[in-house]
A and B are shown apart, each in its own frame.
Chain A
């Protein structure tokens, strides 16, 4: 019997957390993540999850406590946004390096300044190179589904890395949509028991963890961590198939949408993909050969899958919801590397910074080759 509810992305993730029932959740509130922990804290207070919620004094402390809990043998989750992730960043690198399988829910929000509470992807891009796996949801259902998949991915013995499940702030975190929840028992059976190779509290097998590494070993540990990120791609593919059998919804590192016969394709992350799909459907009605390639896994980046999906596409436009002043926006840089040497014509645009809307008309302009390099920015001339 399907359990279809009207939930915001934040509430949907809180229900995934209730079903996962993590042992420990150290967390500090921040808009637009707050509805996640607010909803979850109420579920815990009502006795519907047994989690120990630690009300810490900052996100730096939240992540520090999360590492201790995860390595002590407790399934651990946390949630944050924007400045919270920025404050966490120092410890996020350490969590990845200590191979702590912490699941992090992110409500994507622009980094200050100017201070802003609305969506862009600058926060997750800030920790792009931390070693953390980054999955981007397109809507509330995907935020729920990816959160259910995340503990299995994080805790897999070939992976043992934090997993960041990204959902666009407000657009997903605060928008109510029909979301199908799996039965609690199905989620519990899917995620199974929490296991890590070494527990810091195991007095029979004592270990020192997070040791100092001199020039003779630091590089080897960084390589080991990068290898785990690379190995996670195959694990995510397996889990996506296993999850599809339970839920009827399949997940992979990319989603190809109407790319068959497409001569122009847009690449995007997150909720924007939903708007692009609508525009693709309209343009396909008119006989325009257009399509979408949505990136679900930004880290590890699915370069081979991107190149394969776009093999027969003449023109690719990458939409970045984050900028890199003085350089190439992050998604475009990845796609450029993935397509290097192919005959594909690559261009890109930045859009939606600080929550600026991207309208269907903007996307039609992108497909028509008439969009500026900074979509929706006042004072920006159209590209020639």
Chain B
């Protein structure tokens, strides 16, 4: 944990710049299930990337490239929106 900053040195109104943000690991919020992809079935429509509320879908170029499980909270929206059933929620 970084040292806490005195009020005089905080950015005005707490505006957070990307270079000052601590990346929170929200993967620990999952309650027993994580998404798993069936890569041969994936059609790279990237609806999962569009719908993921935590930017946990990794994309390489224009292709689906797995999940960032440090960020994924296990909400299962990706599995719900996948039009070809290529994402399933599996036990951790």
Show the binding face of A for B, using Cβ within 8 Å.
Answer: 97-99, 160, 197-198, 205-211, 213, 216-217, 219-221, 223-224, 227
Contact = CB atoms under 8 A, between A and B. Distances in A.
A211 B15 CA distance: 7
Contacts of B21: 208
A211 B7 contact: no
Contact of B17 (A97, A160, A205, A224): A205
A197 B12 contact: yes
B13 interface: yes
Interface residues of B, number: 15
Nearest to A224: B7
Contacts of A220: 5-7, 10
Contacts of A209: 13-16
A224 B6 CA distance: 10
Nearest to A209: B15
B4 interface: yes
Interface of B: 4-8, 10-18, 21
Contacts of B8: 224, 227
Contacts of A206: 17-18
A43 to B, nearest CB: 32
Interface centre among A209, A219, A224 (most CB of B within 10 A): A224
8 contacts: A99-B13, A205-B17, A208-B15, A208-B16, A213-B14, A220-B7, A224-B10, A224-B12
Nearest to A216: B4
Contacts, number: 51
Contacts of A221: 7, 10, 13-14
A216 B12 CA distance: 17
A159 to B, nearest CB: 10
A131 B32 CA distance: 45
A226 B11 CA distance: 15
A227 B7 contact: yes
A88 B69 CA distance: 41
B37 to A, nearest CB: 29
Contact of B12 (A198, A211, A219, A223): A198
Contacts of B7: 219-221, 223-224, 227
Contacts of A205: 17
B14 A198 contact: no
A66 to B, nearest CB: 15
B15 A97 contact: no
A175 B83 CA distance: 67
A219 B4 CA distance: 12
A198 B15 contact: yes
Given A197-B15, A198-B11, A213-B14, 14 more contacts: A97-B13, A98-B13, A160-B13, A198-B12, A205-B17, A209-B13, A210-B13, A210-B14, A216-B4, A220-B6, A221-B7, A221-B10, A223-B7, A224-B8
